[in-house]
Amino acid sequence: MIPKYEKIDSALFELADAAEITGEEARPNIAYWQDVRRRLFENRAAVAALAAIVAIVLCAIIIPILKPDYYSNNFEVSNLRPNASYWFGTDNFGRDIFTRIWFGARYSLIIAFAASFINLIIGTLYGGISGYAGGRADLAMMRIVDVIYSIPVTIYVILFMVFLGPGLHSIIFALSVSYWLPMARIVRGEVLQLKQQEFVLASRALGASNSRILFKHLMPNCLGQIIVTLTLSIPSAIFTEAFLSFIGLGIPVPRASWGTLASESISYMRIAPYQLIFPAAAICVTMLAFNVLGDGLRDALDPRMR
C-alpha cells in the first residue's frame, strides 16, 4: 500500500542567507584586474615607486617648459655650489644643473620607453609565434635567439652606435635590436604551457583560426608576465643609455641625457662633486623606482600571491 503524504505549507520555511550557511559573511565577487589593483595598492613600496615615477615624468615635462633657457651660458655664475637661486648648482658654463637634469630626463625617458615599447612588440610576437608553432619552427627560432644571446648586448649596441653615429634615433634602434630577447623567451614559455589547456582545445573544436587562438586567447593570459617584463626592461634601457652617453656614444652636445651630464662632470669631480652626484642620483632613483614597481606588479599579478 502506497503511503499518503500530507501537503507541506511553504509558509513554514524561509530561505537562509549565505552567511548563515557558511557561518561567515559572504565576500563580494571581485574581478581579476580589480583584485590586482587592490593588491598593488596594498604594497606601500610599489605605491611609493609609482608616485616617484609619475613625479619624475611630470617634472621632465613641466620644468623644461617653465625654464626654456637650457642652452644659455653665463660664465659669471659658473661652478656655483647649490644655493637658493640654483638648487643643484651650476656647471662650468654657468648653466643651471637642475634645469639640465630635467631636460636630460626627457631624452633618457624617451629612449627607455620607446625602446621598451618596440621590444614589447617584437618579443611578444616572436615568442608567441615560436611557442605556439612548436616543433622545428620553434627549434629554429629559439636557436636564433640563443646565437644572439651568446654575445653581450652592450657589444651589439656599441657596434650599431659606431656605424649609425650618436643620436636619439640611433640609440633607440640599437636598443631595439637586442633588448627583445628576454621578452621572447618569457612569452614563449608561457605560451608553451597555456596551449595545452582545455580552453585552447575548445577553441580549436569551435573552428577558431591559429591567429585568433594566439592573439585572443593565449596572449591575454600572458599579459601579467608581459607587463612585469616590460616594467623591468625600462631601467635596463635607462642604464644602457646612460652608459653609452657616458662613453661618448649617446646624445650629442649641446643636448644631454643623464649619462651625458655624468660624463661631462667627471673632469670637475674634485672641485665640484655635486655636478656628478645629482645626475647619478637621478639615474639611481629612477631605476630603483621601476624595479620596485616591477616587483610589486609581479606580486599583484601572480594569483598564487593571494
* Res 225: pLDDT: 81
CB burial of residue 49 (10 Å; 0-12, 13-18, 19+)? buried
Q: Is the pLDDT of residue 296 over 70?
A: yes
Q: Is the pLDDT of residue 1 over 60?
A: no
Neighbours of 256 (CB within 10 A): 24
Residue-wise pLDDT for 156-209, tens only, equals 777 777 777 777 777 788 777 777 888 888 888 888 888 888 888 888 888 878
Q: What is the CATH number of domain 32-68+81-305?
A: 1.10.3720.10
Residue-wise pLDDT for 61-72, tens only, equals 888 887 766 666
* Res 268: pLDDT: 76
CB burial of residue 167 (10 Å; 0-12, 13-18, 19+)? middle
Would you place residue 212 in the very low, low, confident or very high pLDDT band (cuts 50, 70, 90)? Answer: confident
pTM higher than the cut 0.95: no
- Bridge partners, residue 90, by sequence: 96
* Res 238: pLDDT: 84
User: What's the length of the chain?
Assistant: 306
Residue-wise pLDDT for 232-262, tens only, equals 888 888 888 888 777 777 777 667 788 888 8
Residue-wise pLDDT for 86-100, tens only, equals 788 777 777 888 888
- Of 191, 166, 188, 161, nearest to 177 by C-alpha is 161
Is the pLDDT higher at 296 or at 304?
296
Q: To the nearest 5 percent, what fractions of the chain are helix, strand and coil?
A: 70, 0, 25
- For 253-274, what is the mean pLDDT? 78
